[in-house]
Amino acid sequence: MSSDEMLAPPPEPPWLALPPEVSDRLRPLTPSLVEAIIEAVPQLVPAYARPLEGNFGRGLRTGVAAALERFLELPGTVLPALSDQSRQLVAALGRGEFRHGRSMDALLGAYRMGARVTFREMSRRSMEEGLGPAVVVDLGESIMAYIDELSAVSAEAYAFEQSERAGAVDRRRAELLELLLLGQADETALRQAASLADWVVPAQVAVVTLPLEHAEGIRQRLGPGVIVVERETDAVALVPERGPRHRAELDRALTGRGAAIGPAGGLEQVAQSLRLAVLAASMLPPRESPDEPPVWADEHMTEVVLAAEPSAVGELARRRLAPLAGLPDSQRAKLEETLLAWLRHWGQRAPIAEELGIHGQTVGYRVQQLRELFGDDLRDPKARFELEIALRSENRVPA
């Protein structure tokens, strides 16, 4: 853009071309024009098809009369379409539409209908007053420009109110999540906080945690009824349980985002569910590739249990696996994987061989070595249980 263009004055408003006397000629039309607009708008804009009584009727008449009066101040001037007072009134209309739960379509439709009625009546009166066709053309252009400005101001106020409401709701949802994670609020307080956060409390809720850098667009991906709160390094989502397809839907929505999902439960279990999700994710290799599904904590509860007291598990592993301590590393590794498969498959040779990818005779040879090393422990149910815990903790084998 050149400097001359940057310094160019704003274009002249179309009402500057209207003779100033247009206002005096048309002002007596105002009372009947207000009634004509109020009668026409509800017929063609269903959102306003309601009895014109009480505050609604008074407010509508006041607003229409003020808009017409401001318009009649404009002919022959370079005044802006709206004064400070009328701008506040028009902005209040936009805010009111949002607060009443309507879209802007209704108000914009009312503006357009009001403009049509205004032009029809004012152009007819202009011709009766002998103002001529040129004035009627300029009058039509002025009415359209005026309505465009009303629409723009109301839409901006609507959008601002919407963003303010969204910001307030986000703050209240963050406060609700903090209450749930503290686990100390009673049910009445939680339900009151949920109401303020505009959140319908589900019977069951799943807790999702994922890295903050992977959280963009996650609210839309997870669907309606979801609370998403961003923290310093992660995002936490509360997702209503949605029946049999719930897991498949979450798998699709969270694939490739490094997410972990805690067991579903009531509001009182949110803090516990998040802890289990974090523990399950910490016990498994990072899932960062685009096709990696999320971690479901309830599928890895063994790893979560093992993570609860690592020093005790370490001592158990040292004691129970002592018979293997003196073996070369390669031999020890083969016997450990064979022992875990033997425990998992209750000593059945065929599934052990299939899992390990070795011949059945090799399985028999290794199992014989294990019997010699562990003796009667392999017949003791408690010892077998402790051996499996020890081997899972060392090998991080999924449950």
pLDDT tens by residue, 374-383: 999 998 888 8
Rg (CA), the chain: 37
CA distances from 27 to 31, 100, 135, 205, 222 (A): 9, 33, 16, 62, 56
Identify which has the larger pLDDT, 51 or 289.
Answer: 289
Residue 133 shares a structural domain with residue 38: yes
**Is residue 158 pLDDT above 60, yes or no?**
yes
50 or 385, which is more confident: 385
| 1: pLDDT strictly greater than 60 | no
pTM tops 0.75? no
16 and 148 part of one domain: yes
218 belongs to a structural domain? yes
Q: Whole-number mean pLDDT of the chain?
A: 85
| DSSP code string of 345-387 | TTT-HHHHHHHHT--HHHHHHHHHHHHHHHGGGGG-HHHHHHH
Number of domains in the chain: 3
Query: H or E stretch including 343?
Result: helix 329-344
CATH no. for residue 282? 3.30.70
Residue-level pLDDT at 115:
93
On whether both 257 and 342 belong to a single domain, the answer is: no
Separation CA 306–CA 119 (nearest Å): 79
Q: What is the share, in percent, of the chain residues with pLDDT greater than 90?
A: 36
Residue 202 pLDDT class (50, 70, 90 cuts): confident
Instruction: Pick the last residue of a domain from 165, 181, 211.
Output: 165
Would 124 be classed as within a structural domain? Answer: yes
Instruction: Work out whether the CA dihedral 117, 119, 122, 123 comes out positive or negative.
Output: negative
**115 and 17 in a common domain:** yes
pLDDT > 70 fraction of the chain, expressed in percent and rounded: 92
Q: What is the pLDDT of residue 398?
A: 40
Q: Specify the CATH number for the domain of residue 366.
A: 1.10.10.2840
With cut-offs at 50, 70 and 90, classify the pLDDT of residue 161: confident
Q: What is the mean pLDDT of residues 314-341?
A: 91
Q: Which range (62-76, 118-132, 291-305) has the least confidence? A: 291-305
**Least confident span in 17-21, 226-230, 358-362:** 226-230
Please determine, for residue 6, whether its predicted confidence score (pLDDT) is greater than 60: no
- Residue 317 located in a structural domain: no
Query: What count of residues does the chain have?
Result: 399
Alpha carbon distance 151, 107 (integer Å): 8
pLDDT score of 396 more than 60: no
Looking at the structure, tell me whether residues 17 and 157 fall in a common domain. Answer: yes
Does 97 fall in a domain?
yes
Q: Write the CATH number for 83.
A: 1.10.490.10
What is the domain extent for residue 213?
A: 202-306
